[in-house]
Amino acid sequence: MRGMRIRQAAALVVLIAAPVRAQNPAPPPVAGPPPVPTAVWASKPTTTPRYPAGLTPWIKLADVKAAHRGEASWRQRLFDDGRLMAEYVAAAPGAVQSPRFHPDTREWFAVLEGEVRVEIEGQAPIAATRGSLVNIPRHTVFAVHTVGATPSLRFVLNVSGAETFFVADSAVPPTQPPPPGSAWLQTTINRTPGRYDEFNQPHVNIHAEGAKNPKYTGGRFVRDDKSEMLVIYGYEKNLPPFNPADKGHFHAESAEAWLVFTGQIRYAFEGQAPFVASEGDVVYVPSNTWHATRFVGEAPSCRLSITEYVGNTLVLEPRPK
Residue 227 to residue 107: CA distance in whole angstroms: 10
pLDDT of residue 87: 98
* Residue 34 domain-assigned (yes or no): no
| CB neighbour burial string for 188-224, b if at least 16 within 10 angstroms, e if fewer | eeebbbbebeebbbbbbbbbebbeeeeebebebbbbb
Residue type, 30: V
For residues 26-44, average pLDDT: 79
What residue numbers bound the domain in which 263 lies? 213-316
Residue 310 has pLDDT above 80, yes or no: yes
Q: Between the CA atoms of 87, 92, 93 and 96, what dihedral angle is there, to the nearest 10 degrees?
A: -60
* Residue 204 domain-assigned (yes or no): no
- Confidence band (pLDDT; 50, 70, 90) for 10? very low
How many domains is the chain partitioned into structurally? 1
pLDDT of residue 28: 56
* Residue 242 domain-assigned (yes or no): yes
Residue 207 to residue 203: CA distance in whole angstroms: 12
Residue 154 to residue 112: CA distance in whole angstroms: 6
pLDDT of residue 31: 66
Across 25-39, 118-132, 162-176, which has the greatest mean pLDDT? 118-132
pLDDT of residue 24: 44
pLDDT of residue 320: 76
Residue 137 to residue 20: CA distance in whole angstroms: 11
Q: What is the mean pLDDT of the chain?
A: 90
Please spell the DSSP secondary structure of 20-89, one letter per residue: PPSSPPPPPPPP-PPP----------SSPPPPPTT--SEE-HHHHHHHTTT-SSEEEEEEE-SSEEEEEE
Q: What is the pTM of this model?
A: 0.89
Residue 42 has pLDDT above 50, yes or no: yes
* Residue 50 domain-assigned (yes or no): no
The CATH number given to whatever domain includes residue 255 is 2.60.120.10
pLDDT tens profile 186-234:
999 999 999 999 889 999 999 999 999 999 999 999 999 999 999 999 9
For residues 19-41, average pLDDT: 65
Residue 4 has pLDDT above 60, yes or no: no
- Confidence band (pLDDT; 50, 70, 90) for 286? very high
